[in-house]
Amino acid sequence: MSTEPSSRTVPTTPDPESAPRFGVWLIGARGSVATTAVAGCAAVAAGLHPPTGMVTETTPFTDSGLPPLTSLVFGGHDTVDCPLPKRAEHLAAGGVLPHGLPAAVHAELAAADREIRPGGPLSGTDDDRTSDALVEAFAEDLTDFVRRHDLAGAVVVNVASTEPAPTDGSLPPSSLYAAAALRAGCPYVNFTPSTGLHHPDLAELAATAPVPHAGRDGKTGQTLLRSVLGPMFLQRALDVRAWSGTNLLGGGDGAALADPAAAAAKNAGKERVLADTLGSAPEGEVHIDDVPALGDWKTAWDHIAFDGFLGARMVLQTTWQGCDSALAAPLVLDLARLLLRARAVGLTGPRPELGFYFKDPDQGATSSLGEQYAALTDFASRLRGQE
C-alpha cells in the first residue's frame, strides 16, 4: 500500500516486506481519538484519503527517516470493551469518520482491537494491585507486544480522557502508564492534560530516561489559535486587557471535563499559553460546558478586549467549530513517527523541539506557534542528518 499525496504533501515510499515495523501503543485505545488515528492511518496508507492535517507528510519532513504509515502496528490499553470496529461505526454515524470508511478498514481496526489489553486500576472492582505491580504489568504488555510482532520499537501515546490532578501524592493512572512505557524502553507522548511524567515521584525518571518523551496536552483548536493571536498582539504592541473563552463539547471529553478538577487541569494549559506569549496573564477565564447532544463535536468561543492607539477600545471575537478527534488524530500519528525516529537515532529525554504540538511543551520551548514550527522543522533536519 502507498500514501496518496495531496498537492502539498510528500508521498510515503512503499517499503519492501522485509522493512522493519514499529508499534504505536495507545492509552485509551478504544476512545474517539485512538479509533480515528487507527482508521485514518489505514485509510491514508491505502490511498483512500490524503494525509490532510499530518505535518510529517509535508515537504520539510522529506527523507527525515520517519517510519512509513504502512509500517505501523497498533495496540494499547483501555478499561472499556467496545470493539474498535463498532466504535468506528459510531464515529461514522456522527460524521467524524467518512461514511463507509469503517467497512473499508475493518481488518486493520480488528487487528488493532486484538492487541488492546485491560488497563487499570479498575474502579469499582477488587483490583488491589500496588502501583509498582500495575506498572510492571503494563510494561509486560508492551514488551510482549513488541516481541510477538518482532517490532523494531514501539512508542506509547496517552490519548485517554483527562483525569483530575492527584491530591494525595499517589501515582494516577496516567503516571502509571508513563512509568511503564519508560520501564519497557519505549518513547512516551502525553497528548492529554493528565499528570503523566509530570508527577514529582517520576521527575528523576523523566530526566534520566534512556528514551525520548514529549509534552503534555495536545494543541488542536482553541489554544492553537491563541498561540498565533497572542504573539500577534505582542508584536503589534497592542495591549490585551481581557481574554475570556467558552468551550461547548460532548462525547467522552465533555463527560470527563464536567468534573471541575479535570476541567481545571485542561484550562491550565490554555491560560499558560496566553501568559507565555503576552508576558502576563490577562483578565478572563475559560469555561468548559458538557453538552452531550454535540457528540464528538465542539464549539470554542473567545472574546478578546484590547487597546489600540490613543487608548481606542477594541474587541476581537473568534469562533472555532470542529471535531477534536479529527484534529488530534493526525497529530498523534505525527508524534508517534517523530518519537520513533528520535529513538532510532539515539535521542533521549524531553524533546522541547516538539512543542509545536502541545499546550504544555517541555521546558525550553516557546509558546509561539511560529517559533515552535521553526524548531520543529529544524528537528526534522536534524533527524535527516542522522542517516
Residue 219, phi then psi, degrees to nearest 5? -100, 105
pLDDT the model gives residue 103: 98
Tell me which amino acid residue 156 is: V
pLDDT the model gives residue 366: 87
According to DSSP, the residues that pair with 299 across neighbouring strands are 248, 321
pLDDT the model gives residue 16: 47
Give helix 173-183 / helix 131-148 axis angle, nearest 10°. Answer: 50
Burial 255-279 (b: 16+ CB within 10 A, else e): ebbeeeebbebbbbbbbbbbebbbe
The DSSP annotation for 149-197 comes to: TT-S-EEEEE-SPP-PPPSSSPPPHHHHHHHHHHHTT--EEE-SSS-GG
d(CA 295, CA 297): 6
pLDDT the model gives residue 169: 81
| Cβ neighbours around 292 below 10 Å, total | 11
d(CA 272, CA 328): 20
Per-residue pLDDT of the chain (387 residues; tens, 9 = 90+): 333 333 344 444 444 457 899 999 999 999 999 999 999 999 999 999 999 999 999 999 999 999 999 999 999 999 999 999 999 999 999 999 999 999 999 999 999 999 999 998 766 566 778 999 999 999 999 999 999 999 999 999 999 998 888 888 889 999 999 999 999 999 999 999 999 999 999 999 999 999 999 999 999 988 899 999 999 999 999 999 999 999 898 877 767 766 777 667 666 767 788 888 898 889 998 888 889 888 889 999 999 999 999 999 999 999 999 998 999 999 999 999 999 999 999 999 999 999 999 999 999 898 889 999 999 999 999 999 764
271-291 per-position pLDDT tens digit: 788 888 898 889 998 888 889
d(CA 354, CA 334): 10
